[in-house]
Structure 1
Amino acid sequence: MGTHVIKMPDIGEGIAEVELSQWHVKVGDIVVEDQVLADVMTDKAMVDIPSPVHGKVIALGGQPGEVMAVGSVLISIEVEGAGNVKESAQPAPVKEAPMAAVKVEAVAESKPAAAPAPKAAVCQGPMVAREADERPLASPAVRKHALDLGIQLRLVRGTGPAGRILHEDLEAYLAQGQSNASAPVAAAYAQRTDEQQIPVIGMRRKIAQRMQDATQRAAHFSYVEEIDVTAVEELRAHLNEKHGATRGKLTLLPFLVRALVVALRDFPQMNARYDDEAQVITRLGAVHVGVATQSDVGLMVPVVRHAEARSLWDSATEIARLASAARNGKASRDELSGSTITLTSLGALGGIVSTPVLNLPEVAIVGVNKIVERPMVIKGQIVIRKMMNLSSSFDHRVVDGMDAALFIQAIRGLLEQPATLFVE
């Protein structure tokens, strides 16, 4: 028998060290050629380390969260053959899950209130074998639905792709719980004294570092404006009814992207990057809109390039494509870099007000809150209108408060009179 030593590969781009993010094997496991052994994290991407041989794992060279130098011993595998030690340090293929740009809007795990709601008493469906800190796969809408129902997502069995929890799974869980309504529920009220320490490693560490860096370096200030989106929502519904079957359905996001593009013509200082070390502001003619997207590994910001040259449907198609790629871990590095201004939204979880964190080196980020119907007074009459807040943040080192307010007011005017979005 011999020992095959795999060293931390040189991934390129001048990277001297990487973070060991996760092991996929343990000592004693039998591995086969091309089986993924570990994930490592660079500043830009998650990288798979595959096995070049068949054999048995006899030693691991580090622990998750450890920063390892290129060329250091990653793993040792016992192989059949001569007893000499072989070394392998060939570059590993990149897994398309690059690191996320920083945002504070990552959706937190939905949890029931400390005092269970009345509906929670019937949520006694079959337990699913998940760890307490494991984050089940589910969309923000499903998480909100579960929160409203008083359901802990980690207890629900998902039937969607990769075990994703669907709305139908929540209904099935409720139905099973109602059939077991007579089961004891005392455990739900038992006191707990357990604690759990969760290391901040991998993608979460990178997001935390970028977030801290952004808040320390930039002079953030936020501005919130209320917008009447009744007219643009009516236009969206009309276009979907007329063209949805042939061109695809439109969400509000393409209209917001269009509003950004038009407003930036008068406020080019918002479409800029600030190099605070060189003390240089670069204003860009091209509008590359980053669209913050929640994925299973953290918040990513795929980029809609040259939004200024795209129609509503072109923007909608590109947003949908990029969001799908980010959520499935298939977005490339180029698709996750190069934005000039960012648009962020929590969708159904949008809340009333948020304070987005800048995506450095950008100087502006526009945050979208949820749409609600409210009575409004228009020309002395009380009418029901669809209202939405824009909660946006700016770098006060570059952007003055008045300019920021005027910029958001311009977006407001465009959305409240949507025909102006298309008047050249």
Structure 2
Amino acid sequence: MSSAAPAASKSGLILICDIVDFSRLTREEQRAAVQRLWSYLTREESTRVLGTDRIINGTGDGFMIACPDHTREVKHADFVALAEGMVRHMINGRPSRGLRVGVHQGAFTYLDLDLDIDGKGRCPTRQGVGKGINRCARIVAIGDAGDITVTEQFIAEWAETTGEFIREKFSPRPGKDPFEVVVKHGESLELRFYRPGKRVNRPWPKKIRGMRDAQHQLKQQLALIRSGFIYYAQALNVALAEESLDVRVSLFAPDAQAGAVLAPTQFRYHPQDHGANMGTTSYSIAATGTGPAGRAFATHAPSIWIQLPDPKRSLRSYAAALAPSGLSKADVKKFYRKARAFIAFPFGMDRRHPDGAVCVDIMEPLEQLSPAQVREIADFLYDRFAVTLSALWRLRGQL
């Protein structure tokens, strides 16, 4: 039997480490590796750094450490130094073992478990739980042996108490964007790697390199969608000129924070859009969805809106033509590009559970094409790109 007394939720510093290739070791080797790591955590200097209100739990192939920050007893610098020392301690062992570490600042709580297994006596223990610990556990896996992966949240808190100069210890260096990874249900975290001094030139972890390749290929796919649309449209009507079509392709995905909302992403392609900011227009995906992209996502099928009135002549007429898609005039006014035609289609491994939607907006109203012909193009784009986009979308930063 057991009983558990939950404590109040805390915010604090969290560290999770695991021994690389642990499952390939023999049982004796696993035991020796964990014992070596434990000996470092229980030495006098380590216990001093971690303070008195710490939680240390085994994870099978490493340890989780959580220290509440309400007393400010544990310093960010000491916490990172501890991680660095753990890595060195394992590498310098005989035999040498690789260790990777994740560091985060976030919310957690703990359970005081009072275990009595088969009536053989009580064994009180404290177990850390919570979103912060869950997030930290996910970022550990992104690193290679020797990597210390740190969330932007931890770095920001450290910089606030110590000074912005500490950012020079992390890579990507200040001025460059952190890596963004999706940890769960579309929720993302921004990460950097502890790389002081000459270690800045250390290669990125294999998973980061794979994510960057997927992001690059995702952008290439959007360019191919644009080219595919233009080629198909001109095959149906040679009078259509690429310049007048002025095609832009944007990728939308559900917003993890905002509920039933399809939000713009950084993935967008137009020949003159290099370096442009991400779009701001979002669409509802409740019921049948709103707007071309929201409608495609919610109905699990391509959506077309063509031969729209010229908004420069009459914004009221333009908004009225888009009203059946669930957009109000106020929504339409926010459009950065008031396109004359839209093709949107969902992308995903499963039509019933899309990962997002692609919107192709065209400044030409496509009056030279019939609705059936435009529908034919939309179906072609969906069939050709939906699954590939889904695979790359999941690889771009999924943990």
The structure with more helix, counted as a fraction of residues: 2
For normalisation by structure 1, the TM-score amounts to: 0.22
Question: Whose RCO is larger (CA < 8 A, sep 6+)?
Answer: 1
Q: Which has the larger radius of gyration?
A: 2
For normalisation by structure 2, the TM-score amounts to: 0.23
